[in-house]
Amino acid sequence: MSLVTAAPDPSAPVADAVPGLRCRAHKFGGSSLADASRIAAVAVILQEDAIAPRLVVASAMRGVTDALVDLAARACAGDDGWTVALDALRARHRQAAEALGASAMPGAWLDEAFDALARQASALAGAAPAPADVLAAIHGSGELWSSRLLHAALGGEAAGWAWLDAREVLVVAHGELGATVDWARSAAQLAAWRAAHPQRDVVVTGFLACDDGGRTTTLGRNGGDYSAAIFAALFEAEALTIWTDVDGVLSADPRRVPDAVCLPGLSYAEACELAYFGAKVIHPQTLAPVMARGMPLWIRNSLRPGAPGTRIGPDAVAATSPVKGISLVHDLAVLEVSGAGMIGVPGTAERVFSALHAVAVSVVMISQGSSEHSICCVVRAAQAARGEAAVRDAFAAEIASGQIQGVRVDPDIAVLAAVGDGMVGTPGVAARLLGGLARAHVNARAIAQGASERSISVAIAAADAERALRAAHAAFWLSPHTLSIGVVGVGNVGRALVAQLAAAAPRLREERGIDLRVRALATSRRMRLAAGALEPAALARDLGDADAEADLDLLAAHVRGGDLPHAVIVDCSASPQVAARYADWLAAGIHVVTPNKQAGSGDLARWRGIRAAAAAGNARFRYEATVGAGLPVIQTLRSLLDTGDELVAIEGLLSGTLAWLFNRFDGSRPFSELVREAHAQGYTEPDPRDDLGGIDVARKVVILAREAGWPLSLDQVEVEGLVPAALLEVERATFLARLEELDAPMAARLSAARAEGRVLRYLARLERDGTARVGPVAIDPAHACAHGRLTDNLVQFTTRRYAENPLVVQGPGAGPDVTAAGVFGDLLQVAHGLGASL
C-alpha cells in the first residue's frame, strides 16, 4: 500500500496560492524523517502550507549519520564490517521507498547511490590520512537519500517540486569559528541553478556543501539547521520553521525538569544565550543568518503539527517571569589562577587567555573578583589538564618567585545559566536565582553576568546540577516548587495527614505551584519507598506488607537523594528515638515538620542542638502542632516576643482530650463513662493514661517555656494527674477495666469546686519566675477557660501589652484530622519559605 499523497496536476494552479508571496522555508530533522510513515506525514504538513512557495531542507533519517560516521571509521581501519552496515542502510532506505510507493524513487538511482558509497568506502582502506572530501561525501550521504525520498513523496517534478543537491550552490570555508558562507558566490550559483530549475517549490539536502575548490564538505554536526538558515537567507524566505520532535523551545531540558514549559516566544538575544548554554533544540550558528535579515524562526513539532511552537524574532516577548529558560552545561572544570602579584598588574587576564588559546582550550565562562587576586575560568573537562599545564608554563617565573600562588583545577563542574530579556534592568533577579540555589543547598563556585543582563551563569558542583536546575526553574515560577517528603509514623495523625496530602496535592500544584511528593512512609517496623511519588492507594494501604524493614538512615538518604531540590521529613510518631535524629537531618539540609513533643520537651541540650542545626544547616524546623494541634499558638507567642512584648504568664487548656472530658463532666454521668466515650471516639491516645496523667500537657508547657526563652525541663513542672497510683503500672486492658476507680475522686473534686461557686478544669500555668504547674483547678466562672467548647484548646497570654485583657487563642485541639491539618500547615510554611506562593 502506498503512503505517498496523490500528486497534483502540474499544469493546474496551486490551490489558494497567492502570486508574489515570498517563500516559506522548512527544515525537517532526522526524527521527522525517521521512516516512510514519518516522511508521508511531513508531506501532509507541507501540502497544508501550499499558499506560498516552499523551500524544504532535509536531514538524514534518524541515526543514519551516526551509522555513516562509524562506517567510514571502520573502512579507514580496514574493518570489513562496514559492508554489513552498508547493507543495513540500503535495506532501510529501500524499504522506505517501497512503502512510499513503487514510483516514489527510481530504484536505479538508489542502487547507484549505494554502489557509489561502497566504492568510496573501499577506497578509504589503507588511506592515511583519509581524504577529507571523501569522508564528507560519505557522512553526508544520508541527506541525499532522505531528501530524494521526501521529494518523491511530495510528487517530485510532476508536482512542481525541484530537488537541489546543496553542493551545487553552497560554498563555505572552515575556520576556528566553524563554517563560513561565501554569500556572494553562493547567491550567484543559486541564481544560475534557479534559472535552470524554475519549479515553484524546492527540496534541498541539509548538512552538505562544497569548499571554494568545489570539493565536498559538510557544515559539521548539527549542521542541518544551519543549512536551513543559510538557504532561507539565500532564497529570501519570509520565515523559517524548524520541525523537530518537541513542541518548541522549552524552559529547561524536559528530561531533567519534567515540568518544563514550552515558551511561546523568544527574542534572538534570548535564543542565542540559551543556545550557547546547551539548549539542544537550536544551534547557535543557526541564528546568525536569520538574525542578519530579521527573519522570524519557528520551532515546531512534526509529531504534533497542531501545537503552536515557539517563535524566535527580533523583539522581546512579554512574560510573567524575567527568566525564560534555564540551561545546564556538563563536563566542565574550574581553572583558577591566584596570587597577590596579580593585583593591579595590567595584562594578566590576557596572558591567561592567550595561554589557553595557544593550546586550543575553549573558555565557557569567566569570573574575576574586583580585588584582582584571582581569575577563574570554566573550561571543558577534557581540556582542563592541557589548560592547566599551559597556564603554569605561562606564569612559571611568577610562580617560582611567589607572586602567583598557584594554578588550580577543580573537576566535576557544571554551569547553570538563567536567560531572559526580562532580566534587563530588573532588580533582584540574581538574588532570586542564588536564593533558590541556597535553599536547595547548592553552593555557587563562581558567578558571571554579562553587561547585557540577559543571562547569569553560575558554576556549581556537577553532583548538585540536577537539583540546582529544578530549584532555579522553580525559583522563577517556571515549574512547581517540589518537595520530596518522607512521613515517619503512620498512626491516626500520620494516616490523616497522608489522606489530606493526597486530596489537596492536585489543587496545590495547579493553583499554588507546590508539588508535594510523598516518597517514603515508615512505621516503627516497616517502610515503603518510591522513586517518584507514592500513589494515594499506597498511602492508604497498611504498611505491614511493605517490602523493607524500617531504616531511618536509608529513609533520610532516599528522601534527600535524587534530583528533587528540597527534602522534608514529617515525624508523626511520638518516639524519642526519631526525635533524636532531627539534628542530623537538619544539618544535612532536610527540613523537619513534626507534632512529636519529644524533641521540644526532652533533653534541653538536645533541643538546643536541634535549634542550632536548623540555623546552621539552612533547614527549617516546624513544630506548631506540638502544642495546639492546628492552632497558631507558637506563632502567636513568637509574634508577641519578636515585636518586643514581655511575657508575664501563660495559662490555658492544653489538652483537647481533657478539655472535652471536663466540659462534659457535670455530675450527670460518671467520669469513667466519659473516658470510655472519648476513647471510643479517638479523642484519647490508645492508652488514655497518656492524657489523664497530665504529662502530655506538661510537655506542651515545656515547649512554650523554651519558645519564650525560659530553660524549663519536664522534671521542673508540677504535675497532678487524674490516675490513681494503683492504676499507673497495670496493663492497659486492666486499666480500662478498672476505670470506675476514677469516679469517686473526680466526683469529690467536682463537688468541692461547686461548693465554692467555681467550675472544674484541667489547667496549665506557666509564670515568668519559671514556676510551672498542670492539674485540675477550680476556676471562677468568668475565667476564659470556663467557656471552652468540646475539644477546644485555649491558651491565654498575659503580657506587658495584654495585661488587663489577656490575648486568647482558642479552637479545636484534639482529633487526628485537626492535628494533621496543623502539620500540613507547617509543611506549607516550609514550601512558602522555599519560595512558593501562598
Catalytic residue list: 700
End-to-end Cα spacing for the chain: 58
**Grid cell of 49 as nine digits:** 502550507
* Nearest partner of 683 among 570, 818, 498, judged by Cα: 818
* Nearest partner of 606 among 628, 621, 625, 624, judged by Cα: 621
**Grid cell of 101 as nine digits:** 510507493
In this structure, the number of other CB atoms found within 10 A of the CB of residue 291 comes to: 18
Q: What is the CA radius of gyration of the chain?
A: 37
d(CA 633, CA 669): 32
What residues pair up with 265 in beta bridges, in sequence order? 311
Sequence-ordered list of residues with C-beta below 8 angstroms from that of 645, at least 6 positions apart, any chain: 799, 800, 801, 802
Instruction: Map grid coordinates 550552490 to a residue.
Output: 169
* Nearest partner of 627 among 712, 723, 681, 707, judged by Cα: 707
What's the one-letter identity of residue 334?
V
Contact by Cβ (8 Å): 339, 403: yes
Burial of 306 (0-12, 13-18, 19+ CB in 10 A): exposed
In this structure, the number of other CB atoms found within 10 A of the CB of residue 527 comes to: 24
- Give the DSSP H or E segment for 780: none
**Grid cell of 602 as nine digits:** 526532652
Burial of 554 (0-12, 13-18, 19+ CB in 10 A): middle
Phi, psi at residue 633, to the nearest 5°? -75, -55
d(CA 192, CA 493): 81
DSSP labels, 335-352: EEEE-GGGTT-TTHHHHH
d(CA 382, CA 379): 8
**Grid cell of 626 as nine digits:** 506540638
- Give the DSSP H or E segment for 407: strand 406-419
Contact by Cβ (8 Å): 476, 432: yes
**Grid cell of 201 as nine digits:** 517549490
